[in-house]
Structure 1
Amino acid sequence: MADLGPTTASDPAYERFARLVKAYLGVPVALVSFVGDDGQRLPGALGLPEPWQSRRGTPLSHSFCKHVVAEDRPLVVSDSRTVDFLQDNLAIPDLNVIAYAGYPLHDLQGRAVGSLCAIDGEPRAWIERELAVLEDLALACASEVQLREAGDTATTAVATATRREAHAQILLALSDAFTQTRTPDDVLDAVQRAAADVAGAARSSVALAHPERGSLSWVRHAVVPGAPESIWADEPLNRTESPAVRAVVSGRPLFFDDAEAMGAAFPRVAGVGGPGAAAFLPLTTSTATLGAILLRWHEPRVLTSSIRDLLVTLASDASTALERAHLLQSRSDVARTLQAAMLSQLPEPTGVDLDAVYLPAEVTEQVGGDWYDAMELADGGFAIVVGDVTGHDMPAATRMGQLRSMLRALLWEHDKPPSMVLELLDQANVGTGLEATATAFLARLEPPTASGVRRLTWASAGHPPAFVRRASGACVVLDARPGLPLGFIPERERHDHVVELAPGDTLVVYTDGLLERRVESMRDSIAAAAAVVAGLSDLGAAAVVEALGPTGDRRDDVVVLSLAIHA
């Protein structure tokens, strides 16, 4: 008997889309079609000849939709008999498909899975308005496809959650335990606690895989009475007679209700560790196999499906936490290296002591947008800058690095006062598309006069005011009205200000993370800080941070730069 393809039930929602296509485009046949290995299913179909209309399905030999799905793009033909790859399709003689216009339907992953199509039994020149309507209807139909898929996913998730309801409190405690971990050692500690507290295991051990070395290393292991320490030696990943290696390589857990069953399956470990039950759980994620957990109980026990589900969940949570911990450690290492590379080695200009410190926020990736810089200029002048790019994470550090490099180039190339350099910087910031928002304090220090006094010309782009602690002990706040921060209105004119620094005077510049407090305004913090600075005997950057910096976890980066004129 000839293959007639699958049969499909009529679907009211998809039938509605077929009716809309037929009505708006005036075609005799309209289909909602889905392609699978078994053929073409038509839950929405109008106008097909029998037996296809009743069956609502055809073999792939009768499908134009398969081309729409394969190419993931519309297929529009006026006369299929003249198209090379269509002219032998059995839909032409059996279904009278002459003119065809089909648009793809996509699932939640963006894959083409079917088509919404209009069909005419006569040659037809499709007009732009008709195709636009068909495209819009196809997008709406795809939404229905995706909504159903999302609903199926949600139903599956609910069913899974229901099956695990008996373990809800245990799983919550387990999740909390791993959520609190930050380092790989934290995760390994949590695994061993959970093995005892949640799974009731007498002993637990953890091995990590090293694919580059081709081995499995037991980084945590319990003492096994009567067994030599050599049982914990590294194991080659090709030693499949080892149950731990087998679990790692296969990615599947191994459960044994007693030691006899384990020894029968793996003679190499027969008699090791007592008579109790055992479980070998692979630590796997969607991207990697990380290792394995070994659990042992003192006595034989039936590891029911409920217990096995719990143990698999333990391993899954541990795998996610371990991968996250490795990622955090890697990001932290990269972040610190990046930040260190972008912080300047301070020069040692004659007659000036420069000191600076950068402290990252303690609640993020330990890298951010605060920076300091100091450089001797081509014309003999000397410049310092402290800036703060919005954010305290890796993207902020990246924008900071670009802004800092722009500023260094402008300072070297242009013999201009700080206000004009900031204007040029802001124009370049916006004009190049960087568009970083930042505050900055930029100053130029001139050579000393005969009396040792040095002129400091400065400009501020929305930055907190600097302090000048005089040799006499008085503290002056450089609180002239600041300009706008960078990244807002680059055409806005900026202004310079001048202060004279005598021998023994010290300039202290900082970012707002030094003074930000939840319980007081920034204005009050600045006034209080000025009083503290006036009384400090040590105005090195680290001493200023110790005297003024926030207590507890820093929620923002902190930079302090001090410039002292030799007495």
Structure 2
Amino acid sequence: MADLGPTTESDPVYDRFARLVHAYLGVPVALVTFVGADGQRFPGAVGLPEPWQSLRGTPLSHSFCQHVVAQDRPLVVSDARTVDLLRDNLAIPDLDVIAYAGYPLRDLQGRAVGSLCAIDGTPREWTPDQLAVLEDLALACASEVQLREAAALAADAVRTADRRAEHGQVLLAMSDAFTQTLTPDEVLDAVQRVATEVAGAARASIGIVHPERGALTWARHAAVPGAPVTLWDDEPLSRAESPAVQVVMSGRPLFFDDATTMSEAFPIVAGVGGPGAAAFLPLTTSTATLGGVLLRWHEPRVVDDELRDLLVTLASDASIALERAQLLQRRRDVAHTLQSAMLSHLPSPAGVTLDAVYLPAEVTEQVGGDWYDAMELPDGGFALVVGDVTGHDMRAATRMGQLRSMLRTLLWEHDRPPSRILELLDGINTGTGLEAMATVLLARVEPPTDDGVRTLTWSCAGHPPALLHRAADGTVELAGRPDLPIGFMPDRERHDHEVRLAPGDTLVLYTDGLLERRTESLRTSIDAAARRLAVLPDLGARSLVDALGPTGDRRDDVVVLTLCLGPR
């Protein structure tokens, strides 16, 4: 079948220019033509024979306009059959083009892209007035061409701006997702979430480098139907034929538009994971090689520059977040070990059951200034302490350790009531330059009388009051007058308070993290805890935390120390 050239739609504006040429010059055919590699198109056309009028296009073998464009000047001939350049053009027999006058249409850069032309099927001498009219109409038509080009450029600019804005929002959301992470597990979860929700991947798997083992361990991986069970085994870092290992060791990402391309580069993964596109991204920082991320899509797709930039940014953000989380984890591990080492091993005084629990805050470094202590004294009694140094970090933990050691020394060296011991502690705290700010409740339990009753003497340095569950008479609050916390005014006098403990009674000391709530005052929480304590069947320290402590993430450390006269 003969090549009929391109087909195009009619354009009302360009048709209007063709009609003006047809009317003003009195020609049977008038065209607005544009030339391309595949032929010429007539969005504006009047009077062409069929099928050309309907097709509105011809191959270049039928084009006079191509010469107007190539030479960037008007082409005016009275009889094309006598012109060497045109006599063999198929427009003469097929479109009946004999006389032709065409003026160039130029774009915004001044390049000829088409022509406005008048055509007659018989030889014709074009008058200067006709050519002047045709030139003016061509200039007007060229203005339309340029306006449309400018509008298209503006629309492209808007689309580009929209894409950039959308891309910026995506990057912001991605950055925010990683900023919120605190632990390595949270980072790995965020990588998988961002890879699927933002990058559109069907699944994401993450390998972590273990230099000491010389291996890449797949810490996160998605199920791959039909894959062998060995797919997610540790990979030696010497396994150069593995794309994941190569990416990790080189620090350069790999992108594949489909599984076939990936299999040609790495035969080891042939037939695994379906036909879709793949990306391998290194997790590296300036100081460490952390691992790699494997992304797979269900279908082949072109991994274009925009997607590559997004994936590289994903890997960069994830690397920074993972390195930070690993450092924080190591710091938390060290700090938690330090904190645990500073918590006392509870003694076992005759006739008394002691129990304690310390739980770190879950939204900080998991260390802080809360502590408990219990120690037997030379005279046969023993001391109980709960305290809370201001802060939830390593500094608070170290100050707590120093304050605790000072207090233990003072309790052993001085047979004084709790108020005097706290006065001495406050003076040493200031005098040595430690200057810790802390609340403390210090209690001294005397040896029992013949009927098993013990005297409890306590002094409170700004600490929440202890609760006493009477075996035979409900729960009361030990609401003696509180003095100022340690570290405020060391010269102020402190006060002692006394109560008798009978067999079966349970004393509960705690830090404010047990009862503090955002929605109510500490006073309200203490009153509610006293009521709950009266009916709880188990008054062990951990059971009290479960029953009275905060729900959800703990925003503060929690300490509970209980004393029960007799077995609990």
What TM-score comes out, normalization by structure 1 length?
0.64
**Is 2:503 the counterpart of 1:508?**
no
**In the alignment, residue 195 of structure 2 is paired with which amino acid?**
A
> 2-side partners of 1:547 and 1:231: how far apart?
46
**In the alignment, residue 411 of structure 2 is paired with which amino acid?**
L
Compared with structure 1, are the counterparts of its residues 272 and 387 closer, same or farther at alpha carbon in structure 2 (3 Å cutoff)? closer
Structure 1 stretch displaced more, 356-365 or 310-319: 356-365
**CA deviation after TM superposition for structure 1 residue 182, in Å:** 4.9
Compared with structure 1, are the counterparts of its residues 256 and 552 closer, same or farther at alpha carbon in structure 2 (3 Å cutoff)? closer
**Is 2:274 the counterpart of 1:302?**
no
In structure 1, the residue matched to 2:171 is 171
**In the alignment, residue 433 of structure 1 is paired with which amino acid?**
G
| Cα shift readout 1:339-382 (whole Å, capped 9, x = no counterpart) | 32222221111122222222333332333221111111123321
In structure 2, the residue matched to 1:545 is 545
Percent sequence identity over aligned pairs? 74
**CA deviation after TM superposition for structure 1 residue 313, in Å:** 1.2
Q: Per the alignment, in what secondary structure is the counterpart of residue 252 of structure 1?
A: coil
> 2-side partners of 1:560 and 1:226: how far apart?
53
Q: Per the alignment, in what secondary structure is the counterpart of residue 500 of structure 1?
A: strand
In structure 2, the residue matched to 1:344 is 344
> 1-side partners of 2:383 and 2:273: how far apart?
70
Q: Per the alignment, in what secondary structure is the counterpart of residue 441 of structure 1?
A: strand
Q: Per the alignment, in what secondary structure is the counterpart of residue 205 of structure 1?
A: strand
In structure 2, the residue matched to 1:442 is 442
> 1-side partners of 2:408 and 2:424: how far apart?
12
> 2-side partners of 1:562 and 1:383: how far apart?
12
**CA deviation after TM superposition for structure 1 residue 186, in Å:** 4.2
Compared with structure 1, are the counterparts of its residues 192 and 502 closer, same or farther at alpha carbon in structure 2 (3 Å cutoff)? closer
In structure 2, the residue matched to 1:466 is 466
Structure 1 stretch displaced more, 288-297 or 222-231: 222-231
Q: Per the alignment, in what secondary structure is the counterpart of residue 409 of structure 1?
A: helix
In structure 1, the residue matched to 2:77 is none
Matches within 5 A, 1:459-498: 459-498=459-498
In structure 2, the residue matched to 1:557 is 557
Alpha carbons 1:473, 1:534 under 8 Å: kept: no
Compared with structure 1, are the counterparts of its residues 486 and 242 closer, same or farther at alpha carbon in structure 2 (3 Å cutoff)? same
Compared with structure 1, are the counterparts of its residues 493 and 314 closer, same or farther at alpha carbon in structure 2 (3 Å cutoff)? same
Q: Per the alignment, in what secondary structure is the counterpart of residue 361 of structure 1?
A: coil
Alpha carbons 1:205, 1:295 under 8 Å: kept: yes
**CA deviation after TM superposition for structure 1 residue 401, in Å:** 1.6
Alpha carbons 1:332, 1:365 under 8 Å: kept: yes
Matches within 5 A, 1:377-526: 377-526=377-526
In structure 1, the residue matched to 2:31 is none
Compared with structure 1, are the counterparts of its residues 545 and 168 closer, same or farther at alpha carbon in structure 2 (3 Å cutoff)? same
In structure 1, the residue matched to 2:250 is 250
Structure 1 stretch displaced more, 456-465 or 548-557: 548-557
**CA deviation after TM superposition for structure 1 residue 309, in Å:** 0.4
**CA deviation after TM superposition for structure 1 residue 534, in Å:** 4.1
Structure 1 stretch displaced more, 196-205 or 389-398: 196-205
Compared with structure 1, are the counterparts of its residues 164 and 209 closer, same or farther at alpha carbon in structure 2 (3 Å cutoff)? farther
> 2-side partners of 1:544 and 1:396: how far apart?
25
Q: Per the alignment, in what secondary structure is the counterpart of residue 291 of structure 1?
A: strand
| Cα shift readout 1:389-445 (whole Å, capped 9, x = no counterpart) | 112333222221221111111111222221121112112222222211111111111
**CA deviation after TM superposition for structure 1 residue 307, in Å:** 1.5
Matches within 5 A, 1:34-183: 164-179=164-179, 181-183=181-183
In structure 2, the residue matched to 1:209 is 209
**CA deviation after TM superposition for structure 1 residue 464, in Å:** 1.7
**CA deviation after TM superposition for structure 1 residue 280, in Å:** 1.9
Unaligned runs of 5+ in 1: 1-160
**In the alignment, residue 288 of structure 2 is paired with which amino acid?**
A
Structure 1 stretch displaced more, 165-174 or 341-350: 165-174
**In the alignment, residue 201 of structure 1 is paired with which amino acid?**
A
> 1-side partners of 2:435 and 2:478: how far apart?
27
Alpha carbons 1:248, 1:283 under 8 Å: kept: yes
Q: Per the alignment, in what secondary structure is the counterpart of residue 320 of structure 1?
A: helix
Alpha carbons 1:253, 1:280 under 8 Å: kept: yes
Q: Per the alignment, in what secondary structure is the counterpart of residue 295 of structure 2?
A: strand
In structure 2, the residue matched to 1:293 is 293
Alpha carbons 1:501, 1:565 under 8 Å: kept: yes
Alpha carbons 1:448, 1:454 under 8 Å: kept: yes
Which one has the largest radius of gyration?
2
Matches within 5 A, 1:269-288: 276-288=276-288
**In the alignment, residue 459 of structure 1 is paired with which amino acid?**
S
Structure 1 stretch displaced more, 274-283 or 388-397: 274-283
Compared with structure 1, are the counterparts of its residues 251 and 459 closer, same or farther at alpha carbon in structure 2 (3 Å cutoff)? same
**CA deviation after TM superposition for structure 1 residue 511, in Å:** 1.6
Alpha carbons 1:473, 1:535 under 8 Å: kept: no
Compared with structure 1, are the counterparts of its residues 424 and 297 closer, same or farther at alpha carbon in structure 2 (3 Å cutoff)? same
**CA deviation after TM superposition for structure 1 residue 260, in Å:** 5.9
Alpha carbons 2:475, 2:530 under 8 Å: kept: yes
Taking only aligned residues, the RMSD between alpha carbons, in angstroms, comes to 3.1
Alpha carbons 2:481, 2:495 under 8 Å: kept: no
Compared with structure 1, are the counterparts of its residues 214 and 425 closer, same or farther at alpha carbon in structure 2 (3 Å cutoff)? same
**CA deviation after TM superposition for structure 1 residue 311, in Å:** 0.9
**In the alignment, residue 434 of structure 1 is paired with which amino acid?**
L
**CA deviation after TM superposition for structure 1 residue 298, in Å:** 5.2
Compared with structure 1, are the counterparts of its residues 375 and 163 closer, same or farther at alpha carbon in structure 2 (3 Å cutoff)? same
**CA deviation after TM superposition for structure 1 residue 191, in Å:** 3.0
In structure 2, the residue matched to 1:363 is 363
| Cα shift readout 1:251-273 (whole Å, capped 9, x = no counterpart) | 22223445565566556656766
Q: Per the alignment, in what secondary structure is the counterpart of residue 542 of structure 1?
A: helix
| Cα shift readout 1:433-463 (whole Å, capped 9, x = no counterpart) | 2211111111111112233332222211111
Structure 1 stretch displaced more, 373-382 or 254-263: 254-263
| Cα shift readout 1:534-553 (whole Å, capped 9, x = no counterpart) | 44454333344344333443
Compared with structure 1, are the counterparts of its residues 214 and 443 closer, same or farther at alpha carbon in structure 2 (3 Å cutoff)? same
Compared with structure 1, are the counterparts of its residues 517 and 240 closer, same or farther at alpha carbon in structure 2 (3 Å cutoff)? closer
**In the alignment, residue 477 of structure 1 is paired with which amino acid?**
E
| Cα shift readout 1:101-131 (whole Å, capped 9, x = no counterpart) | xxxxxxxxxxxxxxxxxxxxxxxxxxxxxxx
Compared with structure 1, are the counterparts of its residues 163 and 245 closer, same or farther at alpha carbon in structure 2 (3 Å cutoff)? farther
> 2-side partners of 1:528 and 1:229: how far apart?
55
Compared with structure 1, are the counterparts of its residues 312 and 418 closer, same or farther at alpha carbon in structure 2 (3 Å cutoff)? same
**In the alignment, residue 168 of structure 2 is paired with which amino acid?**
A
In structure 2, the residue matched to 1:154 is none
Q: Per the alignment, in what secondary structure is the counterpart of residue 554 of structure 2?
A: coil
> 2-side partners of 1:565 and 1:448: how far apart?
10
What TM-score comes out, normalization by structure 2 length?
0.64
> 1-side partners of 2:204 and 2:547: how far apart?
48
Compared with structure 1, are the counterparts of its residues 164 and 319 closer, same or farther at alpha carbon in structure 2 (3 Å cutoff)? farther
Alpha carbons 2:516, 2:525 under 8 Å: kept: yes
In structure 1, the residue matched to 2:376 is 376
Compared with structure 1, are the counterparts of its residues 233 and 544 closer, same or farther at alpha carbon in structure 2 (3 Å cutoff)? closer
> 1-side partners of 2:275 and 2:507: how far apart?
74
Structure 1 stretch displaced more, 455-464 or 166-175: 166-175
In structure 2, the residue matched to 1:89 is none
